[in-house]
Structure 1
């Protein structure tokens, strides 16, 4: 009888693919579950735990969340072996997440998100590290597109959404933060300006062109044709004196119609307006 003395080599590629895409939850595709240290219960991920433990059915005094860094134990979805947090199961050697972060105790099989860990933010982000930079003043990562133009708001990511006051996930061009879903809800109601500073958060060129046509086609009664008013532009921050119009007032500096009337009366020039201040 021949004995095979050759050492068996573990096919790590097959272990990486075994069970891939078959396990997970609505939040992540992964091949492990977590044991929440706070309540000693098993969940697919910490978001599943937080959703369950903060539902309306739970007594308000019992509601709680589990911080990502507190997770110490995971359960392999293929062999059910409970173990310390690590990428490969100590029992069946399956890869429990193609993306694995030992700092965040985070697993995810969907690497198309291009996850990366930001040491300054102390969390994992998506989109690829090469596409983002970390702003120390804002305390968060921004797209490289904004590197030379973004508006710094100190500890921006430590502020809540300006609409629903929950944790924010989207940074507007002005630097303020807001839920992406709140942005979409505002857009559904034709609201396109930041709820904090009122600056436009998307390209309004076509809207301004349409307003140009409306203003040009809307005649003003004789009594209003000489009326001059002062406006403040929410987009560029400049104060200007313009002709009063029923439809809208256009900023002569940046051509935005995102303006508000500050003061005005029938006048022939700026000097007369200033006398009323």
Structure 2
């Protein structure tokens, strides 16, 4: 049975399915609303495989330019982004919903030499998800007039319909960020955008974001996950940070500095050491220590519970060989 393109809701679809031999079917069906999403229709009405999205295109083309721009908004995309186009990867010439879909797919290839990541600025071709037309990178589809991304960055070749993320492009980072431009600043030394609350309030570490998370080893600079800056200036995923704290790990995995206020813990260790008498053979034994928190080197009395830094009173220390005096 030939499908007429002039229907929009469940009632109309039922008429269409039940009336197999009605020659005047179109008279029973209302005119469609162009703001009605194709994606919603296909997913909620469970159309048979024989019904193609292409039947909507003639109706779509009848609408005004503004109606065509908004057609299908938030109705297409993948688990990473809502968008109305796919990309053709320049590296392998395959089509993917987004760069993350590409990286995840090729990252699981058996041959490690075949694994690679897409270079987003090199993308030159996109495929409209509404009319399936392949075309050069642009905001609006050249065939059906659909806005392929409410947010569009020509530099990153990035499309996203979910503008509640408040996307913006940072020229210094060279990529798009989320959260609103007014809420972030670019730290030249750290080489990344940080929250305004960290301006003049963080320890700068050169290119601190251009490395992998020390816990999960995902590259931080363009990760989709939230990132936190620790007291020492090193960075890691916010989720990994809290998982580490839950497991009673309070030192930076990179530099071993304390990442939270440990003063109460040091006080309890003071009390425990005072109550614990060392054997006579070790009572006056001295060792050299390096403090992980202040980097000071001192000679202190050895104790089995821990060695206290005489400079900053931290117990986050390690024993080292005695310094060699120049002759």
TM-score range, shorter chain: 0.7 to 0.9
Secondary structure of the equivalent of 1:47?
A: helix
Find the aligned partners of 1:73 and 1:274 in 2 and give their Cα distance. 64
Residue 92 of structure 2: aligned partner: 39
1:62-211 aligned within 5 A:
62-161=114-213, 167-169=219-221, 170=227, 171-178=229-236, 183=241, 186-187=244-245, 189-205=247-263, 207-211=265-269
TM-score (norm 2): 0.65
Higher-Rg structure is 2
Shift of the alpha carbon at 1:104?
0.6
Query: Contact 1:15–1:93 at 8 Å: present in 2 too?
Result: yes
Residue 51 of structure 2: aligned partner: none
TM-score (norm 1): 0.75
Query: Contact 2:286–2:301 at 8 Å: present in 1 too?
Result: yes
Once the two structures are overlaid, the 10-residue window that deviates more, 180-189 or 232-241, is 180-189
1:22 and 2:60 are equivalent in the alignment: no
Find the aligned partners of 1:259 and 1:27 in 2 and give their Cα distance. 43
Find the aligned partners of 2:72 and 2:274 in 1 and give their Cα distance. 64
- The CA deviation string for residues 54-88 of structure 1, in whole angstroms up to 9 with x for no partner, is 2133x333333221101122222233232222233
Secondary structure of the equivalent of 1:69?
A: helix
Query: Contact 2:109–2:115 at 8 Å: present in 1 too?
Result: no
Shift of the alpha carbon at 1:215?
3.5
Secondary structure of the equivalent of 1:48?
A: helix
- The CA deviation string for residues 191-217 of structure 1, in whole angstroms up to 9 with x for no partner, is 332333222234444544554454444
Cα distance change on mapping 1:207 and 1:114 into 2, 3 Å? farther
Query: Contact 1:98–1:107 at 8 Å: present in 2 too?
Result: yes
1:220 to 264, 278, 285: 278
Residue 303 of structure 2: aligned partner: 245
Find the aligned partners of 2:126 and 2:324 in 1 and give their Cα distance. 70
Q: C-alpha root-mean-square deviation of aligned residues, in Å?
A: 3.4
From the two aligned structures, give the one with the greater strand fraction.
Answer: 1
Cα distance change on mapping 1:261 and 1:36 into 2, 3 Å? same
Question: How many matched pairs?
Answer: 258
Query: Contact 1:167–1:179 at 8 Å: present in 2 too?
Result: no
Secondary structure of the equivalent of 2:255?
A: coil
Unpaired segments ≥5 residues, structure 2: 1-62, 222-226
Once the two structures are overlaid, the 10-residue window that deviates more, 39-48 or 250-259, is 250-259
Once the two structures are overlaid, the 10-residue window that deviates more, 112-121 or 39-48, is 112-121
Secondary structure of the equivalent of 1:93?
A: coil
Cα distance change on mapping 1:75 and 1:152 into 2, 3 Å? same
Find the aligned partners of 1:149 and 1:253 in 2 and give their Cα distance. 23
Shift of the alpha carbon at 1:234?
0.8
